[in-house]
Each structure stands twice: as C-alpha cells, then as structure tokens.
Amino acid sequence: MYDYSRNARILLEDGTEFEGFAFGHESSAAGEVLFYSGQADIGRLLSDPSLKDAILVLTQPICGSTGIRDAGVCPFGLETGTEHPTITIKGLVVGDYQAPEVFPPQEKALTRWLRKYQVPGISGIDTRALIKKIEQRGVMRAKIIIDDTRDVSFSSAGKHAHPQYISVKKRQTYGAGQKKIIAIDCGIKHSALRKLITPDTTVIKTPWNDDFRGEDFDGVFISGGPGDPTSWDKPIAIIKDLLKGDRAIFATGQGAVILALAAGGATYRLGKGHHGSSIPCIDLQTGKCIITAQNHSYGIREDSLPHEWETTFLENNSHCIEGIRTRKGLFSGVLFHPEGNPGPSDAAWLYDDFLKIVIEGGIQK
C-alpha cells in the first residue's frame, strides 16, 4: 500500500485550507482549481490539453487502484491510452489514493506517472467540501503545498493555460487522402485527430497561430484548448475571414467559442465550468437527450450571434448553449467533445457529418 508519510495541504485564494497527504511529485504547485464529475479514464483525463495548468479535483472517491495503461501508439503514431504525449494538469486532488504494490506489466502506478511529469497530488481531504466551495465561489486559484518544499505564488496560477504552451510548434501531417483538412491545434486531443483521419482525407495539424488562408484545403477543424478564448486572437481573425468562404468548418470544445467570436458572437466565463464525463445535452433538431463529455470554462452568450446562426444543442441542466451552426450547416461547432475519451461517444456522428460535407465538396442541395 502507499506510504502516507508526507503531509500536504491545498490552500484556496479565499483562505480556505484542507490538510491531507502527498503523493506524486514532491513539489508545490499553483493553478486554477476545478472539479471533474464522473468516473473517468485517468490516463486520458490527466492528459486532456483543455486542462493545461489546472489543479483538478476528482469527484470519484478512490483513485489509483488501477494503473495507467501503456497501450502503445496507433498506426498514425499517436498514443492510444492518453490524449497528449504528457500530463497537462498542474496538480491532482483525490479523496483517497490507493495503489496496490504490484501492477500488471502493461500498467504503471499513477504516482510514478505524476512524478515523471512533476505533478503533485494530495489525498485524504474532504473533496465533497472542496467541491461545494467551488460550486459556491466558482473556479478560483489554489496551491498544493507539500511539506518541506518551496512555496509558490498564487500569481503563477494558470500562467501556461494558453494554446501557445500546448500546441505543436510545427505542422504534422496524417493520412494520404484527396481531401485536405486543416486541424488548428489549440489543444487537440489524439481521439479527435483520429476521428478526422479517413482513407479520403489528409489531416494537417497546424500550430494554433498558423496562417493558412492562402493555401489549398477542403475543410477546417478547430480544436478546444485551455484558458481564455478571447486571447486566441490569431485563430479568431483567421476564422472570421474563412466564414466569408464556402469551405466547411467544424469546432469542438472551446474551439466552438472561437467560431462564435469570429462570427460576431460574445462569450462569458462559466462560474464552475463544465467538466465531466456524463453531462446531458438536448439535440434541438431531434428533441433527444445525449450524454456528453465536456471540459470547457467559457460559454457562448445567448442571442449574441447573427441571425443566420442557430443553436443546435442546450445543456439540459442550465440550458446554456452547447452547439451552434449556420442554418445551412456549413459552419458548426459544439462545446462538448463528441469523441468522448474520457466519456461517452453519443455524438461521434457529428464528425461523420463534417467529413461528409468535406468529401462531397460542400452542402448538397
């Protein structure tokens, strides 16, 4: 069993403090604290680029009893057990960290994985009380402080929560199909990228601020990512220009906020964000409810979009916007992750709809 011999505490910027025990990397860290609801695939969750620099609180009571699976890479060279080559969070908070002494050969202990990427963890605190505090106050800055380590400043929280710290630095190409899709990497997940690669497509993953407007391509995918999307000035300007054309655009996560901003809409900060693997959304086209995976902190302000845009999905609890599109459907976006991972793939068909438009060369009358 794990040795709980080192004390730790998590300190919120409002002065609230919880004491517990350290696991993972033995260093202190600061970040915005948020909670994730649902039973998640830990390997995929902790490597989600949308969570870059966040201190993540898990609602599941026990963590660590299963290891991080080393599933290798897919034929395109992408890790199949994670959504990014590294852990992206800044710190991990769990109610009870339990780890067996021995894992199967294809798995590694969570605490060893955290140490590899210098991510501290804290266990043994009342996560229910902490989550209630976040629900009341909203997302705030926090510090995980490990005994006998250097303290950190609240001012460093979220310092690297921006696409420039998670996006590729140079272009990467996948597939060899006739139709070319530009995938703007504001924090793209491996699972999303694999959804775009088909025998008919070539996918070019570009840096978040790459200007490709003068090139030949058939469609554009805007990925989600961390931080305040209003600061993603370059992709907003590029998409604003592309909305004057006739090539398909599809966005997920906070990439949908970029699409809305480019179209003239407005955004706002969600109090506690939408972070979970089982969030219900209503499809306004069919009236059906689907279960979605979400990881976004900003929303689209109702009635801020031009008249040629319409809402396609609403979150079933708060009734906030979760999907938009132009009335003909050439440009569309959803704030959830249709590919799931972690979470359900109820809405994976949205990738199929986008690919159909790209392959067929536009909206067919």
Between CA 224 and CA 268 the distance in angstroms is 16
Minimal CA–CA distance to 335: which of 306, 301, 359?
Answer: 301
Mapping DSSP to helix (H, G, I), strand (E, B) and coil, where does residue 145 land? strand
CA 317 and chain centroid, separation: 20
Minimal CA–CA distance to 4: which of 95, 93, 123, 125?
Answer: 123
CA angle 343, 203, 275 (to 5 degrees): 25
Residue with tokens 């310092």: 159
Between CA 271 and CA 224 the distance in angstroms is 19
Range(s) within the chain of domains with CATH label 3.40.50.880: 163-360
pLDDT of residue 364: 62
Mapping DSSP to helix (H, G, I), strand (E, B) and coil, where does residue 148 land? coil
**Rg of the chain in Å (alpha carbons):** 20
User: What residues have CB less than 8 Å from 198, skipping those under 6 apart?
Assistant: 175, 177, 355
Residue with tokens 């998670």: 166
Between CA 294 and CA 317 the distance in angstroms is 14
Between CA 171 and CA 174 the distance in angstroms is 10
Length of the chain: 365
Q: Render each residue's pLDDT in the chain as its tens digit; 365 residues.
A: 455 678 999 999 999 999 999 999 999 999 999 999 988 789 999 999 999 999 999 999 888 877 787 778 999 999 988 999 999 999 999 999 987 767 776 677 889 899 999 999 999 999 999 999 999 999 999 999 999 888 899 999 989 999 999 999 999 999 999 999 999 999 999 999 999 999 999 999 999 999 999 999 999 999 999 999 999 999 999 999 999 999 999 999 999 999 999 999 999 999 999 999 999 999 999 999 999 999 999 999 989 999 999 999 999 988 999 999 998 899 999 999 999 888 888 899 999 999 999 999 887 65
What is the secondary structure of 10-44 as a DSSP string? EEETTS-EEEEEEEESSS-EEEEEEEEBS---HHH
pLDDT of residue 38: 87
- Measured between its terminal Cα atoms, the distance across the chain in Å is 63
- Is the preceding omega at residue 280 within 30 degrees of 0, hence cis? no
Domain 7-156 bears CATH identifier 3.50.30.20: yes
Q: What is the CATH number of domain 163-360?
A: 3.40.50.880
Range(s) within the chain of domains with CATH label 3.50.30.20: 7-156
| Dihedral angle over CA of 170, 171, 174, 177, nearest 10 | -170
**Count of helix runs (H) and strand runs (E) in the chain:** 7, 21
pLDDT of residue 284: 97
Cβ(9)–Cβ(124) under 8 Å? Answer: no
